[in-house]
């Protein structure tokens, strides 16, 4: 796929004149868009800021005709390199920012992809509703990116993940035609499959592939355990099997597949999502202290037997980072001694007494099991500062002085909660083999652990270790039948390991799906399938 700028420059200038939005080819803009929040960097051909669906259609037809590609982008908070590529970066965060329609009675909202998650929730709050997935970047992450990445965050143990919330998606396909995807009955599915168009091809292909009993068996055998609700490895064909067309009772909805597809199948222009009633207003946090990571992981299993709304871990490395910060050191008031790990367990209630009773019941269970050594309960007025300490930790890690940094590469694995303590023990043993003491930062209640090695990617030795650690991690996750990505997606950092994670047959199924939807590979190429080695383009 060519991105030869001198040859395309006159054509890009022509395209720019046809758009209602803008198209930029200057070095500064391209340099700004050469990176996202990941370790990757690749100079794009151009950066587009479309204003209308017509602009997006023109960009798609241009890419198709001229052998280049489109990289959809909202806030660029991706940790896996989903927004980095050598084609045209299409940033919808500037103009596609409208909240289009709210139905309070039916609890849904229709938005454009550039709506910021926290801003949407401020709009919804007076109506007693909210969009529940909450990422650590929720004050800037946008709904389009959250759908593309199937984001989850701290509350997924109660509310589920973004895929669970998507009702319909308005898209433009790779042939330039606008298509809406939503729940379909068997009869509606059959009518779609009769269409003599790319849309019809898509429905016929999925019917042909997933009607095969051997294919379905291979999906069940190779995909992560069904008990793991955070699973973003490859395309979610396992979700499609739940429809009445195949093995389940649900209506068929391609939104299940598009959520988490990282902009590789279609370009989304509108999103309809379901909403939840605002949670109970009173919030307290039990901050359980532990002398070992293992003990904290065992305790997470205990916490999950209680009505917790979040079960989050942070380790000593992250806690120590906050000691040096003038802003965050004052939020450490509840830390007793020098714990190796803190498990922060959130409970909610309609009154302080109700919330405290839930927290005290957990503390009693932990004490009875001889787990932990201190259990301060943080009351409502101080909860925000406690969560701020946790949110700050990972950002502060990125500011470690010098070239060695905590690198996002194995930071997104998810296993069954019952396997978590044993899995972490094996991870720590594996990392010791690389002379690494990893950073532990976890959505422990969801079985997801964010682990980061400290590496200097300016050194070739560390670049090789970056790959070797990632490969060893993938093999360990597969042993536990876990998901290599719980929430951050495959992008560039994990896509090359997908055949290992789901087997070669399922990987080839993913490729056939990709090239049915996108025959010329114009949508975000090199993500999910046909990826470059994960230690290239750093």
Mean pLDDT over 22-33 rounds to 97
Question: Looking at residue 491, what DSSP letter applies?
Answer: T
CATH class of 282-396: alpha beta
Q: Poorest-confidence range of 158-162, 177-181, 252-256, 326-330?
A: 326-330
**Residue 291 pLDDT more than 70?**
yes
Mean pLDDT over 523-538 rounds to 90
Mean pLDDT over 500-518 rounds to 97
For 168, the enclosing helix (H) or strand (E) is strand 166-172
Pick the CATH number of 405-489 from 1.10.1040.10, 3.30.43.10, 3.30.70.2740, 3.30.70.120: 3.30.70.2740
For domain 5-91, say whether CATH 2.60.40.2700 is its number: no
Q: Indicate the pLDDT class of residue 439, thresholds 50, 70 and 90.
A: confident
Judge contact between 253 and 183, C-beta under 8 A.
yes
pLDDT of residue 2: 45
pTM of the model: 0.91
Q: Choose between 523 and 487: higher pLDDT.
A: 523
Q: Choose between 325 and 72: higher pLDDT.
A: 72
**Residue 1 pLDDT more than 50?**
no
- The encoded tokens of residue 435 equal 């002379």
Q: Indicate the pLDDT class of residue 391, thresholds 50, 70 and 90.
A: confident
Mean pLDDT over 39-60 rounds to 96
What is the torsion angle, in degrees rounded to the nearest 10, for the CA atoms of residue 522, residue 51, residue 166 and residue 183? -80
pLDDT tens-digit map of 97-109: 999 999 999 999 9
pLDDT of residue 394: 61
The dotted CATH code for 99-277 is: 3.30.465.10
Cα 215 → chain centroid:
26
Half-sphere exposure of 88 (CA within 13 A, CB side): 29
pLDDT of residue 5: 55
What are the DSSP calls for 227-238, one per residue?
A: T-----SS--HH
Alpha carbons 491 and 283: distance in angstroms, whole number: 35
Q: Indicate the pLDDT class of residue 396, thresholds 50, 70 and 90.
A: low
Domain chopping of the chain, boundaries? 5-91, 99-277, 282-396, 405-489
Judge contact between 112 and 267, C-beta under 8 A.
no
């Amino acid at each position: 796929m060519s991105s030869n700028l001198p040859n395309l420059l006159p054509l890009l200038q022509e395209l720019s004149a046809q758009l209602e939005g803008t198209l930029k080819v200057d070095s500064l803009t391209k340099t700004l868009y050469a990176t996202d929040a990941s370790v990757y960097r690749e100079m794009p051909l151009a950066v587009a800021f479309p204003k209308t669906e017509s602009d997006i259609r023109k960009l798609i037809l241009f890419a198709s005709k001229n052998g280049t590609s489109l990289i959809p982008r909202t806030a660029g908070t991706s940790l896996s390199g989903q927004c980095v590529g050598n084609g045209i970066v299409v940033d919808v965060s500037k103009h596609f920012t409208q909240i289009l329609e709210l139905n309070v009675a039916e609890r849904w909202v229709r938005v454009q992809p550039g709506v910021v998650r926290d801003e949407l929730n401020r709009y919804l709050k007076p109506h007693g509703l909210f969009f529940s997935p909450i990422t650590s970047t929720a004050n800037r992450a946008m709904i389009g990116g959250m759908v593309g990445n199937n984001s989850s965050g701290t509350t997924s143990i109660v509310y589920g993940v973004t895929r669970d919330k998507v009702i319909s998606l308005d898209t433009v396909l790779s042939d330039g035609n606008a298509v809406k995807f939503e729940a379909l009955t068997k009869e509606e599915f059959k009518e779609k499959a009769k269409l003599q168009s790319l849309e019809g091809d898509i429905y016929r292909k999925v019917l042909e592939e997933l009607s095969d009993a051997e294919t379905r068996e291979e999906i069940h055998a190779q995909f992560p355990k069904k008990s793991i609700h955070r699973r973003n490895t490859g395309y979610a064909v396992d979700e499609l099997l739940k429809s009445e067309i195949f093995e389940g009772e649900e209506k068929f909805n391609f939104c299940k597949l598009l959520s988490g597809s990282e902009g590789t199948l279609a370009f989304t222009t509108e999103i309809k999502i379901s909403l939840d009633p605002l949670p109970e207003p009173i919030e307290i946090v039990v901050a359980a202290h532990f002398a070992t990571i293992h003990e904290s992981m065992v305790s997470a299993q205990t916490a999950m037997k209680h009505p917790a709304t979040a079960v989050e871990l942070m380790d000593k490395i992250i806690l120590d980072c906050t000691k040096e910060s003038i802003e965050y050191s004052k939020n450490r008031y509840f830390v007793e001694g020098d714990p190796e790990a803190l498990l922060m367990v959130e409970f909610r209630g309609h009154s302080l007494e109700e919330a405290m009773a839930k927290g005290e019941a957990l503390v009693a269970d932990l004490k009875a099991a001889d787990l932990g050594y201190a259990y301060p309960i943080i009351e409502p007025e101080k909860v925000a500062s406690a969560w701020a300490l946790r949110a700050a930790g990972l950002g502060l890690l990125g500011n470690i002085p010098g070239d060695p940094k905590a690198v996002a590469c194995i930071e997104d694995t998810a296993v069954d909660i019952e396997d978590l303590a044993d899995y972490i023990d094996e991870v720590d043993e594996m990392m010791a083999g690389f002379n690494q003491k990893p950073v532990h930062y976890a959505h422990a209640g969801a079985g997801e652990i964010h682990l980061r090695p400290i590496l200097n990617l300016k050194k070739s030795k560390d670049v090789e270790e970056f790959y070797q650690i990632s490969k060893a991690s993938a093999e360990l996750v597969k042993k536990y039948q876990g998901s290599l990505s719980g929430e951050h997606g495959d992008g560039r950092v994990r896509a090359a390991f997908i055949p290992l994670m789901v087997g070669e047959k399922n990987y080839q199924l993913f490729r056939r799906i990709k090239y049915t939807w996108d025959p010329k590979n114009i949508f975000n190429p090199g993500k999910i399938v046909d990826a470059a080695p994960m230690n290239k383009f750093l």
